[in-house]
């Protein structure tokens, strides 16, 4: 009998394992061949502490020191662009993300391919960072293993039963018994809840597609910031000498191994092209991921009020990487009975009992 059995080996499950392993014995089950295969492996990999709802921002801020000390951050910067027709969206984004307006000359100095016939306003935040997401995953996994946690891949869960002492969980290869079950299954969290006889919370996976294109006009992109269109209608981010462009869509989907929708990707690339002077002539690659949200788009962290041994670590949406240190620490605090460092209203916005 182990103390904690975590279902899901993405950033949610692995960070939870690192924190909860101090409270008892631990096993992580990941259905794929390796950790972080689905949404966690397809992240835009940016840390921007003001990105997300207030509770997410609080988690981001709580985790900044961890990210810095783990050495997973490197300078990137974030630019927002728009035009007169998008003034309302642009102003709302500037306010929400606490960005500073800059002149078009300053914007063109940072991203010389911006189209001044289309873009007439810009804002900038230098305090945005690239994230080494693989290093972050491995940092948490190393911490968990240092506490003798077991991480098992190729372990798809096939059955869950409530027992007198906790939970019995079956995979195709093995059976497990645990006092506590941690649901960190990403897009599949409501599926796992139903298997365990726990009421689902109404999580919705949303597809987001991405394309990798050559550097525009052969520019050196190393110092370019990430750039968003007003209202997050598209974004582009330098990545290893190329540029990742996303239509930033949020199309509802069932849990699955996501792939890009060609039409949606084409529409997003067209929105990007409207804002730059260099057309997209070819793709190097394309892919998609599922960003899974609770109905109120806040994360869900902590024991289920009707089933205290069933612990939610879910609804990371597009914020899982940057929020993971703060989210996993809050989860451990709630499970271990330690007063959280986060403000009480932020904790209340994240606890699962808000739905019951």
Domain for residue 288, yes or no?
Answer: yes
Domain for residue 63, yes or no?
Answer: no
pLDDT at position 42: 87
CATH number of the domain bearing residue 97? 3.30.9.10
pLDDT at position 182: 98
**Residue of higher predicted confidence among 356 and 315:** 315
pLDDT at position 173: 93
Domain for residue 116, yes or no?
Answer: yes
**Residue of higher predicted confidence among 38 and 91:** 91
Claim to verify: residue 315 and residue 166 sit in the same structural domain: yes
* 67 token code pair: 């990210």
Domain for residue 64, yes or no?
Answer: no
Claim to verify: residue 324 and residue 342 sit in the same structural domain: yes
pLDDT at position 207: 97
Domain boundary among 264, 293, 322: 293
Q: What is the DSSP letter of 98?
A: T
pLDDT confidence bin for 7, thresholds 50/70/90: very high
pLDDT at position 41: 81
Mean pLDDT on 201-227: 96
When divided into structural domains, the chain yields a total of 2
Claim to verify: residue 264 and residue 209 sit in the same structural domain: yes
pLDDT confidence bin for 292, thresholds 50/70/90: very high
Q: Report how far residue 237's alpha carbon sits from residue 243's, in angstroms, rounded to the nearest whole number.
A: 6
CATH number of the domain bearing residue 351? 3.50.50.60
Mean pLDDT on 143-157: 97
The average confidence (pLDDT) of the chain is 96
pLDDT at position 15: 98
Chain segment 52-63, per-residue pLDDT in tens: 999 999 999 999
pLDDT at position 43: 87
pLDDT at position 215: 97
> 235: helix, coil or strand?
strand
pLDDT at position 208: 96
H helix runs in 103-255, sequence order: 104-110, 133-146, 189-195
Q: Does position 356 have pLDDT exceeding 80, yes or no?
A: no
Domain boundary among 248, 263, 293: 293
Q: 199-203: long-range contacts (C-beta < 8 A, 24 or more apart)?
A: 199/306, 201/294, 201/295, 201/300, 201/312, 201/314, 201/352, 201/355, 202/294, 202/295, 202/355, 203/292, 203/293, 203/294, 203/314, 203/315
The domain in which residue 85 lies consists of: 78-126+204-293
């Amino acid at each position: 009998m182990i103390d904690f059995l975590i279902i899901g080996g993405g950033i949610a499950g692995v960070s939870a394992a690192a924190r909860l392993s101090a409270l008892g014995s631990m096993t992580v089950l990941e259905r794929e061949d390796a950790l972080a295969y689905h949404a966690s492996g397809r992240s835009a990999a940016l840390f921007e502490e003001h990105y997300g709802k207030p509770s997410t921002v609080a988690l981001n801020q709580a985790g900044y020191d961890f990210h810095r000390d783990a050495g997973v951050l490197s300078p990137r910067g974030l630019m927002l662009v728009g035009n007169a027709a998008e003034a309302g969206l642009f102003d709302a984004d500037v306010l929400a993300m606490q960005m500073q307006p800059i002149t078009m000359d300053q914007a063109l100095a940072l991203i010389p391919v911006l189209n001044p016939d289309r873009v007439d306003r810009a804002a900038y935040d230098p305090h945005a960072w690239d994230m080494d997401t693989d290093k972050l995953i491995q940092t948490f996994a190393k911490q968990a293993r240092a506490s003798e946690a077991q991480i098992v891949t190729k372990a798809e869960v096939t059955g869950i039963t409530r027992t007198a002492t906790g939970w019995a969980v079956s995979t195709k290869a093995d059976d497990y018994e645990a006092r506590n079950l941690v649901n960190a299954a990403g897009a599949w969290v409501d599926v796992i809840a139903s298997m365990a006889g726990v009421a689902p919370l109404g999580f919705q996976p949303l597809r987001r597609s991405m394309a990798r294109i050559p550097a525009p006009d052969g520019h050196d992109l190393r110092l370019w910031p990430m750039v968003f269109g007003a209202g997050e209608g598209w974004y582009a981010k330098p990545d290893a000498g190329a540029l990742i462009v996303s239509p930033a869509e949020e199309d509802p989907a069932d849990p699955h191994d996501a792939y890009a929708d060609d039409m949606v990707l084409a529409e997003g690339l067209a929105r990007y092209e409207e804002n730059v002077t260099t057309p997209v002539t070819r793709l190097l690659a394309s892919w998609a991921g599922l960003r899974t949200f609770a109905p109120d788009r806040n994360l869900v962290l902590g024991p289920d009020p009707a089933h205290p041994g069933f612990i939610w670590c879910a609804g990371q949406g597009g914020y899982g990487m940057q929020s993971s240190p703060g989210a996993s620490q809050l989860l451990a605090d709630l499970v271990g009975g330690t007063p959280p460092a986060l403000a009480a209203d932020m904790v209340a916005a994240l606890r699962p009992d808000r739905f019951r």
